Chains A and B, each alone.
Chain A
Amino acid sequence: TQLLEQSPQFLSIQEGENLTVYCNSSSVFSSLQWYRQEPGEGPVLLVTVVTGGEVKKLKRLTFQFGDARKDSSLHITAAQPGDTGLYLCAGVTGNQFYFGTGTSLTVIP
């Protein structure tokens, strides 16, 4: 089983603050995905990063894939209450997905 560790596990911040979530593994993946999951719903894909060192921006969210394609980070600028949710990274090899341990984010208005 390929393990992806996310940190921190829990994060509670004030609206307007910045934050970074980390996803680390000892395994190499062909790509890495980030999902957000809200209570009572399934995870929804935010982004896929494929190339080592790749950086993608999605409005206030910045995603980076490590050079060795083993780790990734998600940075949120000026967090808003609507960003609240469970953030999951997933390493992809072929058509198999290995999910991280999850980071629960709460943004307080």
Chain B
Amino acid sequence: EAGVAQSPRYKIIEKRQSVAFWCNPISGHATLYWYQQILGQGPKLLIQFQNNGVVDDSQLPKDRFSAERLKGVDSTLKIQPAKLEDSAVYLCASTRGTRGDTQYFGPGTRLTVL
């Protein structure tokens, strides 16, 4: 089966610009996660969807970050406006069911904010 797809793989923008990332999870996976990973550190959860509903967005900086998962399939994460500290890798992951099982990660989008 195809893995989790993400695009773009790399993005360079200037601060105060906007950027959007796209994720297509594995077919049939109900739960989708967006993580932010600073180089060399563990991923930090930004938002978790179950189908098209939000389960947890407690660590999402809502003044600048937004995410949606229309129709419960693919998802977009947007940053507007970007700050220097947003430079990181943004990882998307999915799991099949509603209980903790194997998370499958995409390759990530590396964002550099200048």
| Chain B hits for A101, CB < 8 A | 41-42
Which of A31, A97, A102, A104 makes the CB contact (< 8 A) with B103?
A: A97
Determine if B105 and A100 form an interchain contact, defined as CB atoms under 8 angstroms apart: no
Q: Is the interface of A mostly helix, strand, loop or mixed?
A: strand
Which stretch from B12-20, B43-51, B62-70, B77-85 is at the chain A interface?
A: B43-51
Which of A1, A42, A93 makes the CB contact (< 8 A) with B4?
A: A42
Cβ of B61 under 8 Å from chain A:
no
Binary contact track A58-102/B, C-beta < 8 Å → 1, others 0: 000000000000000000000000000010101011111111111
Q: Is the interface of B mostly helix, strand, loop or mixed?
A: loop
Contact A95-B50, Cβ < 8 Å, known A43-B105, A44-B105, A45-B103: yes
Question: Can you identify 11 A-B contacts, CB atoms within 8 angstroms?
Answer: A30-B100, A42-B4, A42-B91, A42-B108, A43-B91, A45-B102, A45-B103, A86-B40, A95-B55, A99-B43, A104-B40
